[in-house]
A and B are shown apart, each in its own frame.
Chain A
Amino acid sequence: MTNEATLRVENLQTHFDTKAGTVRAVDGVSFDVRQGQILGLVGESGSGKSVTGFSIMGLVDPPGRIAGGRVLFQGRDIAKMGEEELRQLRGNRIAMIFQDPMMTLNPVLKVETQMIEAVQAHGNVDRKTAWTRARDALGQVGIPSPEERLNSYPHQFSGGMRQRVAIAIALLNKPDLIVADEPTTALDVTIQGQILYEVQKLARETRTALIWITHDLSVVASLADEICVMYAGRIVERGSVDQVLDAPAHPYTAGLIGSVPSRNVKGTKLVQIPGVMPSMLNLPSGCAFRLRCTHADATCEASAPPASGDARQVRCFHPLTAVA
């Protein structure tokens, strides 16, 4: 076991060429995740967090493309891999869990089929062995009577159960990295809690690196070791959960924390971040957040703030707390 990062993303640029111009959905994102570590990737809709996830999977479809940077998985650059090489990694060493469990499983194939094929795609495993592994994986994520459930179709499962199936599929080949793209957003709060607990437990037990993409700060607060806050395709703040949540340095992070309802005293007005996320085709000059920021001045308009620091990072000319 080395200290080497499982995944190291360096200055990732994922662009979408549209008729209206190039959208820099991900614009210079860098972070890394180690074995057994949980990284929370937080941001609003359209901040580029999901595209970051798909870039790691090598699943960016045209008109999107990885325009620059490196995605080093165990030292190998995913951005430069061919389709077959990528396919062998996907679902094998890197797995992904999607947002909406109602949409991710194929409605016309049995759960059994969808699990066995995932095993057989990555090794010469006979059907019976693959079936046994599928059954064990279902049991592992807390699905009662897995033998029977394997023979069911997705529509015979509830939303929470389907997400468990999706997680079981992700776990089938004991991946080194799981990218979870808002996997609890579409679920009831109670189910959300159960899923969070299961995933955290599994990631710790198997020492799998986990990237948890979400817009919900309260979810990462209880789950992640480290947080990256994304805004308009960039990471604006990065640090350990305690650092970021207790002493946010970027005004955007502070705004996000302020708008979580449970943190406010009953009866007081909920703090909002003024304005809306700017269009990715038409970002303001300098700092992308400046039009919504109460601290913005002429410096912010002139140029984009560089990232300061290393493990604890912020992209702001006027950080709220000093960052080493």
Chain B
Amino acid sequence: MSVFIIRRLSQSALVLLIMSLLVFFGVFAIGDPIEIFIAADADQAERERAIAALGLDKPIWLQYFYFLANALGGDLGRSFVFNIPAIDLILLRLPATLELAFCAVFLSVAFGIPLGMYAGYRPDSRAAKTIMATSIAGFSLPTFWVGLMMILVFAVELGWLPASGRGELGTFLGIQSSLFTLNGLAHLALPALNLALFNISLVIRLTRAGMRENMPMDYVKFARAKGLTQRRVVFVHVMKNIMIPVVTVIGLEIGQVIAFAVVTETIFAWPGMGKLIIDSINNLDRPVIVAYLLIIVLMFIVINLVVDVLYSVLDPRVRLSDTGK
């Protein structure tokens, strides 16, 4: 196991290196930030000074080399716009996004698994059919539209919940989050649900499929033949088998929800990373874009590693191979 993890981490370093190359050169291809930062009437001398100050006068391979050298020391460059380290800027926004993402994933598990299990257990019941029909809607309606409708209904018409911002922050165990105040939770409700909707539907369908696949299996009949209660058969025997694919998808969801909360954050004016990256792309704030993408890649790597380890916990037949075969 430990050999497996060490191997994976060294592979991850390689992935990060390749990603940094792609991102760094890719960002250089999309435009010249100088055109945006410099006033249109600036003279040549001012231009040269600004270019030199941002380090853009050096050849690109040298810039990359400097970037890499600094990155190893934990410095991913300074934001052109805010003139503070890019990583600080991202970490400042990270908690808001994380809190939104984890709420969304929590909702997708809390609703998706029970509803999916029921829909798979009694596939012909009216409730199951309603669940499945609704999940198709959750699957196919675009996030931005659902978000706008939620604001329209719950914030504008009914006036139950606030439509934008993060609300009051509470502090618990040194962590600041809107999870710890009532006002913050009210602010969180709509964006989290909006972000979760697609994932709830995904988990419902996956859980239902697993349930439908597992219930007719011999091991279920054998468990019943042992005289176990239906509750134990479903919640211990079947559920543990269903969890294997569900955990994979939830792992991917976490990464996805963090990386692509952009739409929801924009609609609900949530001060998270998604909004930051959109602004940075508009301003061609290269260091922030590069740093953001690398952090997202790192996050995916970690999540996948955790999912792989969880796999071996859930399914004893999976051995984390030490030889890499």
Q: Which residues in A have their C-beta under 8 angstroms from that of B237?
A: 106, 109
Contact with B along A90-121 (1 / 0, CB 8 A): 11100110111001111111100010011001
Q: Which residues in A have their C-beta under 8 angstroms from that of B316?
A: 107-108, 110, 153, 155
Across the interface, name the chain A residue whose C-beta is closest to B243. Answer: A108
**Interface residues in B194-231 (C-beta closer than 8 Å to A):** 217-219, 221-230
Q: Which residues in B have their C-beta under 8 angstroms from that of A166?
A: 222
Contact with B along A116-155 (1 / 0, CB 8 A): 0110011000000000000000000000000000000101
The reply to whether the CB of A88 lies closer than 8 angstroms to some CB of chain B is: yes
B227 touches A105 (CB 8 A): no
The reply to whether the CB of B126 lies closer than 8 angstroms to some CB of chain A is: no
**Interface residues in B132-161 (C-beta closer than 8 Å to A):** none
Across the interface, name the chain B residue whose C-beta is closest to A104. Answer: B222
The reply to whether the CB of A323 lies closer than 8 angstroms to some CB of chain B is: no
* Contact (A88, B219) CB under 8 Å given A107-B317, A108-B241, A155-B317: no
Query: In angstroms, how far is the closest chain A Cβ from the Cβ of B234?
Result: 12
B227 touches A87 (CB 8 A): yes
A59 touches B218 (CB 8 A): no
A107 touches B226 (CB 8 A): no
Query: In angstroms, how far is the closest chain B Cβ from the Cβ of A205?
Result: 22
Partner of B227, one of A92, A103, A114, A153: A92
**Interface residues in B266-325 (C-beta closer than 8 Å to A):** 314-317
B232 touches A117 (CB 8 A): yes
A59 touches B317 (CB 8 A): no
Q: Which residues in B have their C-beta under 8 angstroms from that of A59?
A: 221, 224-225
CA distance A59 to B223 in the complex (A): 11
Q: Which residues in B have their C-beta under 8 angstroms from that of A155?
A: 316-317
The reply to whether the CB of B129 lies closer than 8 angstroms to some CB of chain A is: no
The reply to whether the CB of A169 lies closer than 8 angstroms to some CB of chain B is: yes
CA distance A32 to B88 in the complex (A): 80
CA distance A104 to B226 in the complex (A): 11
Q: Which residues in B have their C-beta under 8 angstroms from that of A196?
A: none
* Contact (A109, B226) CB under 8 Å given A59-B221, A98-B221, A153-B316: no
Residue among B226, B230, B240 with the most chain A CB within 10 A? B226
The reply to whether the CB of A89 lies closer than 8 angstroms to some CB of chain B is: yes
The reply to whether the CB of A57 lies closer than 8 angstroms to some CB of chain B is: yes
A118 touches B226 (CB 8 A): yes
A117 touches B228 (CB 8 A): yes
CA distance A187 to B230 in the complex (A): 30
Dominant secondary structure of chain B at its interface with chain A? helix
Across the interface, name the chain A residue whose C-beta is closest to B221. Answer: A59
B225 touches A57 (CB 8 A): yes
Across the interface, name the chain B residue whose C-beta is closest to A95. Answer: B225
**Interface residues in A250-289 (C-beta closer than 8 Å to B):** none
* Contact (A88, B218) CB under 8 Å given A106-B237, A155-B317: no
Query: In angstroms, how far is the closest chain B Cβ from the Cβ of A134?
Result: 12
Across the interface, name the chain B residue whose C-beta is closest to A119. Answer: B226
B222 touches A121 (CB 8 A): no
CA distance A110 to B227 in the complex (A): 18
A98 touches B222 (CB 8 A): yes
* Contact (A104, B227) CB under 8 Å given A109-B237, A153-B317, A155-B317: no
Query: In angstroms, how far is the closest chain A Cβ from the Cβ of B12?
Result: 28
Across the interface, name the chain A residue whose C-beta is closest to B226. Answer: A91
**Interface residues in A159-174 (C-beta closer than 8 Å to B):** 166, 169
CA distance A91 to B225 in the complex (A): 6
A121 touches B315 (CB 8 A): no
Query: In angstroms, how far is the closest chain B Cβ from the Cβ of A165?
Result: 11
CA distance A95 to B232 in the complex (A): 18
Q: Which residues in A have their C-beta under 8 angstroms from that of B244?
A: 108
Across the interface, name the chain A residue whose C-beta is closest to B232. Answer: A117
CA distance A59 to B216 in the complex (A): 12
A117 touches B226 (CB 8 A): yes
B227 touches A90 (CB 8 A): yes
CA distance A98 to B240 in the complex (A): 22
Q: Which residues in A have their C-beta under 8 angstroms from that of B227?
A: 87-92, 118, 121-122
B219 touches A107 (CB 8 A): yes
Across the interface, name the chain A residue whose C-beta is closest to B215. Answer: A61
CA distance A108 to B237 in the complex (A): 8
Q: Which residues in B have their C-beta under 8 angstroms from that of A83?
A: 230
Q: Which residues in B have their C-beta under 8 angstroms from that of A109?
A: 236-237, 240
CA distance A95 to B226 in the complex (A): 7
Across the interface, name the chain A residue whose C-beta is closest to B225. Answer: A96
Across the interface, name the chain B residue whose C-beta is closest to A107. Answer: B317
Q: Which residues in A have their C-beta under 8 angstroms from that of B217?
A: 103
CA distance A220 to B12 in the complex (A): 60
B219 touches A105 (CB 8 A): yes
Contact with B along A183-214 (1 / 0, CB 8 A): 00000000000000000000000000000000
CB pairs A–B below 8 angstroms (26 shown): A59-B225, A83-B230, A87-B227, A90-B227, A91-B226, A91-B227, A91-B228, A92-B227, A95-B226, A103-B218, A104-B219, A105-B219, A106-B219, A106-B237, A106-B241, A107-B317, A108-B316, A109-B237, A114-B223, A117-B228, A117-B232, A118-B228, A121-B228, A121-B232, A153-B316, A155-B316
Q: Knowing that A87-B227, A106-B240 touch, tell me 8 more A-B residue pairs with CB under 8 angstroms.
A: A89-B227, A96-B222, A98-B218, A99-B218, A107-B315, A109-B236, A121-B227, A121-B228
Q: Which 8 A-B pairs have the closest CB atoms?
A: A91-B227, A91-B226, A103-B218, A90-B227, A153-B316, A104-B222, A118-B226, A96-B225
